[in-house]
Amino acid sequence: MTTTRAPSGTSPRPAVRVVLVDDHRMFRAGVRAELTEAMAAAGGAAACEFVGEAPDVDTAIAVIRAERPDVVLLDVHLPGGSGNGGADVIRGSYGVETDAGAPVRFLALSVSDAAEDVIAVIRAGARGYVTKTIGARDLITAIRRVADGDAVFSPRLAGFVLDAFGAAAGEIAEVDEELDRLSAREREVMRLIARGYQYKEVAKELFISVKTVETHVSSVLRKLQLSSRHELTAWAMGRRLL
Amino acid sequence: MPTPFEPAAAHPRAGMPPRPEVSGPPRPPLVRARGRGWTPGVCAAIARHLGLSPKAVRWSFVILTAFGGAGVVAYAFLWALTPEGDVVDDGTGQVAVASDRRQWGSLILIGAALVLVGGVLVLPILGGSLIGSVLLPLFTIAVGAIVAWSNLDEAQRSRWLESGTGPNRFGWMRVALGVGLTVTGILVIVTRGQSFSAVWDALLAAIAVLVGALIIAAPWAMRLWGDLRREQVAAARATERADIAAHLHDSVLQTLALIQRQSGDAAAVTRLARAQERELRTWLYDGPQGSQSTLAAAVTEVAHEVEDLHGQVVDLVVTGDRPYEPHGAALTQALREALLNAVRHGRAPVTAYVEIGPSGVEAFVRDRGTGFDLDDVPADRLGVRQSILGRMERHGGSARVRRRDDGTEVELRLPPLQGDQP
């Protein structure tokens, strides 16, 4: 476990400091190896740097408080804690800030498809949700994005969101600020992400900038975290989740 | 197994709908239909089992009753021994709802009322004493017990007794009525020919003894009850664990063994791992699968099939759902063709998104290959033209192939179902 920062080298920005939380040692080692390999293949300075790892809730909170990383890669199911584990780590790390003064951000990384898991970690404050089958390069992109405070949606999460907000059934918010529905634009963005589009492809398709796409996705994330839409509950209930 | 008793099954008369009867060797099991009828359904069960007309069976019970009440005894015996179950109607394949039992039940009630009235009318003639003091109360007790227990039987006694989800209001009414009748009958028998005050004293004494016994027995009974519950829970848990172990053995361990054996073949390993992951995921998160007759289920199945065929991951996201019908089936087939094209000619990742909503169905299949233009496809290649475009158009939908910078996207659209939007 090293706490020194990697030299920024030719990269205009320092490497993203990452803590990896997962109860399977094999998986942690695998992610590290895969990402290191991918970054080496890409050449130049490392895009991210592993500063710590933890196998359970209590260790994770301790490591996060000590290291104050930019991004925590977080498994949703962990030993310890009162919930499933992932959400407990996020709640236990509220208020921890990095050296730069940004909050520690969480990217959920899971094998689970269960909506319950997605909703739990997102509502606890995770900035994104990707499945463990994600490729190394996509994962690096996702980590960078989360470090910048943007949201990361996998196609599956986008599908969940469309279902949960009734957007697939045609429910559209009249005003963007409405928490319980997606706006027409947000729905379009979610649909494209569900179709497997990258952010820049979404931007091209809708003739908007990538930054605007990121804004829309963050706004959807906020709605997902704050909405008290009863369907979120009903929907989870329908899948025997609550 | 044709018998002389089932001519209707062998020769359905013209103009009459054939009755759903036994048409060959597996006989339907002897079970009483779980339903809301008034009677336990013994006659119907026997009729179903033997392939006879329910009416004939009922009449034979009535006739048997004339011989020293043998019919009643046989009925009670069979009632006690025949299990309840879901009855599948041969004709429709549906779980039969015993509608005729309801009629039969009302007939019984009318009969019972008639007997009661008859008894009351005959009472003075026979000199009151015997009937009034013994037979009538006995009859009341019997009717009360039947009414009360028939309800318990329906709710599967034990389940009713232990679970918090008691019977409905109607059920409670029946229990109350039954208990009331029984208690009245017993009281009449016990107190015959005594003054009211004597009865009252006896009643008080009896109640005191009962309450005393209850107080003494309560802790023990409660503990016994608790032990029983705990045992039941433990047994259920053990069964569940055994189920999980069996499932893991059948699926995961077998797959792991296969993977070890084929560890040299990367493609095979990926395919096995993916198929197993999917199967386990379905088992863990979707619960037991019922009849898969929705579009979402069909689409998912097709994607899995393509994955298995080519060992390439298809990232499928489905939102919404609707019943599976011919148009949806056409879309599913077209989607299958598009997915096959994508995994054959494109590069991973292959993603598919199917949105099923009130404004129709939209499906997108995307790959990262070099892409192709429909105009470049030779006219003799039927894959895209017939299987995708032609099929969608025949069903009132449309299909579009888009060539993108880094791949191809096939879009399939279906208009809403007629019931969805007028």
Distance from CA of B284 to the nearest CA of A (A): 9
**Which residues make beta-bridge pairs with A49?**
A17
B290 at the A interface (CB within 8 A)? no
One domain for residues B98 and B134: no
Please indicate whether, in this complex, the C-beta atoms of A194 and B317 are within 8 angstroms of each other: yes
Three-state SS for chain B is: CCCCCCHHHHCCCCCCCCCCCCCCCCCCCCCEECCCCCCCCHHHHHHHHHCCCHHHHHHHHHHHHHCCCHHHHHHHHHHHHCCEECCECCCCCCECCCHHHHHHHHHHHHHHHHHHHHHHHHCCCCCCHHHHHHHHHHHHHHHHHHHHHHHHHHCCCHHHHHCCCCCCHHHHHHHHHHHHHHHHHHHHHHCCCCCHHHHHHHHHHHHHHHHHHHHHHHHHHHHHHHHHHHHHHHHHHHHHHHHHHHHHHHHHHHHHHHHHHCCCCHHHHHHHHHHHHHHHHHHHHHCCCCCCCEHHHHHHHHHHHHHHHHCCCEEEEEECCCECCHHHHHHHHHHHHHHHHHHHHCCCCEEEEEEEECCEEEEEEEECCCCCCHHHCCCCCHHHHHHHHHHHHHCCCEEEEEEECCEEEEEEEECCCCCCCC
- B261 touching A, CB under 8 A? no
Convert the pLDDT of each residue in B211-230 to its tens digit: 888 888 888 888 888 888 88
Chain A: closest CA distance from residue B276 (Å): 13
B99 in the same domain as B31: yes
Residue B363 and residue B315 share a domain = yes
Predicted confidence at residue A208, as pLDDT, reads 93
Note whether B370 and B397 are same-domain residues.
yes
Range of the domain at B77: 1-122
> Residues B6, B117: one domain?
yes
Q: Which of A86-95, A200-209, B170-179, B198-207 has the lowest mean pLDDT?
A: B170-179
Identify the residue with better confidence: B287 or B393: B393
Nearest to A48 by CA among A16, A1, A12: A16
Domain identity same for B324 and B374: yes
Confidence band, pLDDT 50/70/90 cuts, at residue A174 = low
B364 domain residue, yes or no: yes
Identify all chain A residues contacting B356, using CB atoms and an 8 Å cutoff: 168
Q: With 60 as the cut, is the pLDDT of residue B2 above it?
A: no
Best residue in B300, B322, B347, B355 for a mutation probing chain A (most A CBs within 10 Å):
B355
- CA separation for the pair B29, B27 (Å, rounded): 6
Over residues B300-344, the pLDDT tens digits come to 888 888 888 777 788 888 888 888 888 888 888 889 888 888 888
Structural domain includes residue B2: yes
Residues B188, B94 share a domain: no
Q: Is the pLDDT of residue B9 over 90?
A: no
B228 touching chain A per CB within 8 A? no
Residue B102 domain flag: yes
The CA distance from B266 to B259, in Å, is 9
Rounded Cα distance, B338 and B139, in Å: 74
Confidence class of residue B363 from pLDDT cuts 50, 70 and 90? very high
Q: How confident is the model at residue B381 (pLDDT cuts 50, 70, 90)?
A: low
Q: Would you place residue A5 in the very low, low, confident or very high pLDDT band (cuts 50, 70, 90)?
A: very low
Q: Is B90 exposed, middle or buried (0-12, 13-18, 19+ CB in 10 A)?
A: middle
Q: What is the CATH number of the domain that holds B369?
A: 3.30.565.10
Q: Does any domain span residue B136?
A: yes
Chain A residues with CB under 8 Å of B352 CB are: 196
CA angle A179, A185, A187 (to 5 degrees): 70
A240 Cα distance to chain centroid: 24
Per-chain mean pLDDT for chain A: 80
Say if the Cβ atoms of A169 and B358 lie within 8 Å. Answer: yes
The residue in chain A having the minimum alpha-carbon distance to the alpha carbon of residue B350 is A196
B134 located within any domain: yes
Indicate yes or no: CB of A162 within 8 angstroms of CB of B319. yes
Check residues B380 and A23 and name the one with the higher pLDDT. A23
CB B317 to CB A168 under 8 A?
Answer: no
Chain B residues in contact with A158 (beta carbon < 8 A): 317
Q: What is the mean pLDDT of residues A198-212?
A: 90
With contacts defined as CB-CB under 8 Å, which chain B residues touch A170? 357-359
Q: Do A114 and B313 touch (CB under 8 A)?
A: no
How sure is the predictor about B194, in pLDDT bands with cuts at 50, 70 and 90? low
Q: Quick one: which of B418, B285, B45, B331 has its CA closest to A160?
A: B285
Question: Same domain, yes or no, for B116 and B31?
Answer: yes
Quick: pLDDT tens for A62-94. 999 888 899 999 888 888 777 678 888 888 888
Residue B271 lies in a domain: no
Residues B287, A240: C-beta atoms closer than 8 Å = yes
Co-location of B103 and B29 in the same domain: yes
Rounded to whole angstroms, what are the CA distances from B169 to A166, B151, B165, B166, B175? 37, 11, 12, 9, 10
Q: Is the whole-model pTM more than 0.90?
A: no
Domain count along chain B: 3
* Whole-number pLDDT of residue A10: 46
Q: Is B359 on the interface with A (CB under 8 A)?
A: yes
Q: What pLDDT sits at residue B42? A: 79
CA dihedral (B291, B297, B298, B301) in degrees, to 10, reads -100
Considering the domain boundaries, does residue B377 fall inside one? yes
Please report the domains of chain A, with CATH numbers, ordered by start residue: 14-149 (3.40.50.2300), 152-242 (1.10.10.10)
For A138, the closest chain B residue by CA position comes to B349
Do B406 and B309 sit in the same domain of this protein? yes
Q: Is the domain of B91 the same as that of B35?
A: yes
- Closest by CA position to B307, among listed B317, B296, B316, B298: B316
Indicate if the pLDDT at residue B123 is higher than 70.
no
Asked whether residue B388 falls in the same domain as residue B333, the answer is: yes
Q: Is B111 on the interface with A (CB under 8 A)?
A: no
| Domain contains B105 | yes
Most confident of A5-9, A12-16, A78-82, A217-221: A217-221
Query: What is the rounded distance in angstroms from the CA atom of residue B156 to the CA atom of residue B163?
Result: 11
Strands A71-74 and A16-21: parallel
